[in-house]
Structure 1
Amino acid sequence: MHVVIAGGSGFIGKALQERLLNDGYQVTILTRNPEKVTETEQLKAVQWLVANSEPEKQLHQVDAIVNLAGESINGVRWTKSKKQRILDSRMTATREIIRIISALEVKPQVLVNGSAVGFYGMSDTEIFTEQSTSDATDFLATVVKMWEAEAMHAEQYGVRTVFARFGVVLGKEEGALPLMVLPYKMGVGGTIGSGKQWLSWIHVVDAAGLLHFAIENPEIIGAINVTAPEPAKMREFGKTIGRVLRRPHWLPVPSFAMKALLGEMSDMLLRGQCAIPEQAMLNKYEYQYPQLEKALENILKD
């Protein structure tokens, strides 16, 4: 089976790439810099999103496309220009994916397009499944809704379309977790904000696993929450980090300090949503790390 990945050099993309290669798939990475990809018999790189590139001419017998391309939302304050890059990068990449699909003589069976649980908006009380609607108008919700609407154009070519709504993906060196863990390693860890906000998390291994699962299962159409089955309140999340690292959980981080430091980006930590992966559970995906403590032990223990 041949899977094309856009954003294959990113945090989740690398995990998916490794999983697919280990399972014997043929993988092609769409990248601006193909020379940075170490090609093998199983792994190829094709240039895209640069002048005169025509990736469709090098793509043959494509069974699935996974689109994870886009500017990272982590790491820096959301300035006006940063927010524009977050939106524009996702829209540009997805429009190109749709153009490639239109140009392919034989269409892929499925497009799995990146998305986020930010679609649902923020709530300390509501429980969201893939069936939940959303009237949220905050920045992340707006970006996600536009992103999904663009990807939905694949359906007009008869391509099964899946929206992978990621929660907070946990990994050792990338994603949000290293910054969340740092205060604990310094002995000053504690609850962020009220502690009552939900964190819909998932181990990066299961994030890649659910993408693989969505490729393989034709029953999965539309949204799938890429989250673990047991979301955690932020207070419990912090306490669990402390237990795993054997570090104190004692120094609260007030909301005003987070807002002063991160601005609008602080909403990702100070507000959240309880997103349940109903699609994954109904279709019997087998999580490797369904419980938070085991997930953090795997990631944080040397």
Structure 2
Amino acid sequence: MNILLSGGTGFAGRSITKLLTEKGHDVFILTRNPDKKNKPQVTYVKWLSDEAEPEKELPNIDAVINLAGESINNGRWNDEQKKKIYDSRMEATDEILRLIRTFDEKPSVLVNASAIGIYPPSETKIYTEASNERGDDFLAETVVDWEHKAKLAEDEGVRVVCARFGIILGKDEGALPNIVLPYKMMAGGTVGSGRQWLSWVHHEDVARAVWHAIEDQSLEGPANVTAPNPVKMKDFGKTVGTVLNRPHWMPVPGFALKLALGDKSSLVLEGNKVLPKVLEEHGFTFKYPLLHDALKEIYGK
């Protein structure tokens, strides 16, 4: 297959590209900086600049994956950064829609990134794709608008899957390195109350879930990409300590994180219990369903 991928140079994008090329597919990565040298099965195509015309450089595309957008892990969430997070997602998705409209042969599917931040924080509720409750904070509002825009591809006859990613775990990027750092300094402990849920997923399972969404023609709409066994933050920290053989003893008070991170602190101080009901109903099996096993793989233990 010829697969078009935006955000392919990012954390999740690299895992997805690795899996797709291992399966023998050709990946065309949209990037603002196409100076990277093409390699077998991977072609970099310039986009989102005045002179860029990616549609003229692309073959017939079978599937599109849209991950593009400013990372929510970058910087403090001031008004400027929030605008960058929001606008980058809208701009990229608008361009994906424009490209799809230019194609004579439409791709069969658009897998669009999303986030479990669409659901409200809760210590007691369980959320699946059937849950209609929506958060009222910046991240939830961004996700609602992002999904709404992505679904416009359905007007072109394209199946749309909104992959609602949980906290993606990987060794060097995403949220995990910041969580693990205090443990490496022998100062790890419970973050905030410890009662907040952390719905996590191993980066390899993210790639596998995206491929499953491409392959399974009956899968459409929202799909939670979270391991089937979310944990409370206190238990997450204890598991990190166990895997790294480091103590779990020094609490990190919520007010300190709020001072340091602003609204971004909600990513770790608030959480929700999100289950991947749609993926499991469509036959997807997680390689890393348990946190202990996921962390052991990530840290080579």
Shorter-chain TM band: over 0.9
The residue that corresponds to 1:14 in the other structure is 14
Aligned partners of 1:13 and 1:262: how far apart in 2?
26
Aligned partners of 2:203 and 2:4: how far apart in 1?
19
- State the shift of 1:40 in Å: 2.7
SS at match of 2:294: helix
Residue 151 of structure 2 is aligned to residue 152 of structure 1: yes
The residue that corresponds to 2:220 in the other structure is 221
Cα deviations across residues 12-67 of structure 1 (Å, max 9, x unaligned)?
0000000000110011001111112x313411111100002111122222000000
For 1:5, the aligned partner's letter is: L
The residue that corresponds to 2:5 in the other structure is 5
Which structure 2 residues correspond to residues 100-115 of structure 1 after superposition, within 5 A? 100-115=99-114
The residue that corresponds to 2:116 in the other structure is 117
For 1:226, the aligned partner's letter is: V
Aligned partners of 2:74 and 2:190: how far apart in 1?
20
Residue 54 of structure 2 is aligned to residue 51 of structure 1: no
For 2:17, the aligned partner's letter is: Q
- Give the TM-score of the pair, scaled to structure 2: 0.98
Which structure 2 residues correspond to residues 37-186 of structure 1 after superposition, within 5 A? 38-186=37-185
SS at match of 1:169: strand
Aligned partners of 2:224 and 2:156: how far apart in 1?
24
SS at match of 1:250: coil
Aligned partners of 1:40 and 1:254: how far apart in 2?
47
Deviates more, 1:130-139 or 1:89-98: 130-139
Aligned partners of 1:301 and 1:135: how far apart in 2?
38
- State the shift of 1:76 in Å: 1.8
Aligned partners of 1:46 and 1:244: how far apart in 2?
41
- State the shift of 1:301 in Å: 3.0
Residue identity over aligned pairs, in percent, reads 50
Cα deviations across residues 236-264 of structure 1 (Å, max 9, x unaligned)?
00000000011100111111111111110
Moved segments of 4+, more than 4 Å: none
Residue 16 of structure 2 is aligned to residue 23 of structure 1: no
* Cα root mean square deviation, aligned: 0.9
Aligned partners of 1:42 and 1:262: how far apart in 2?
40
For 1:24, the aligned partner's letter is: G
Cα deviations across residues 93-146 of structure 1 (Å, max 9, x unaligned)?
000000000111110000000100001121111100011112321000000001
| Number of equivalences | 301
For 2:58, the aligned partner's letter is: L
For 1:78, the aligned partner's letter is: W
For 2:5, the aligned partner's letter is: I
Aligned partners of 2:59 and 2:25: how far apart in 1?
14
In the alignment, is the contact (CA less than 8 A) between 1:244 and 1:301 conserved in 2?
no
The residue that corresponds to 2:235 in the other structure is 236
* Unaligned residue ranges in structure 1 (runs of 5+): none
Aligned partners of 2:296 and 2:135: how far apart in 1?
34
Cα deviations across residues 184-234 of structure 1 (Å, max 9, x unaligned)?
010010000111100000000001110111011111100010100000100
For 1:2, the aligned partner's letter is: N
For 2:92, the aligned partner's letter is: A
Aligned partners of 1:298 and 1:76: how far apart in 2?
28
Cα deviations across residues 255-299 of structure 1 (Å, max 9, x unaligned)?
111111111000010000111000111112121111000000111
* Unaligned residue ranges in structure 2 (runs of 5+): none
The residue that corresponds to 1:248 in the other structure is 247
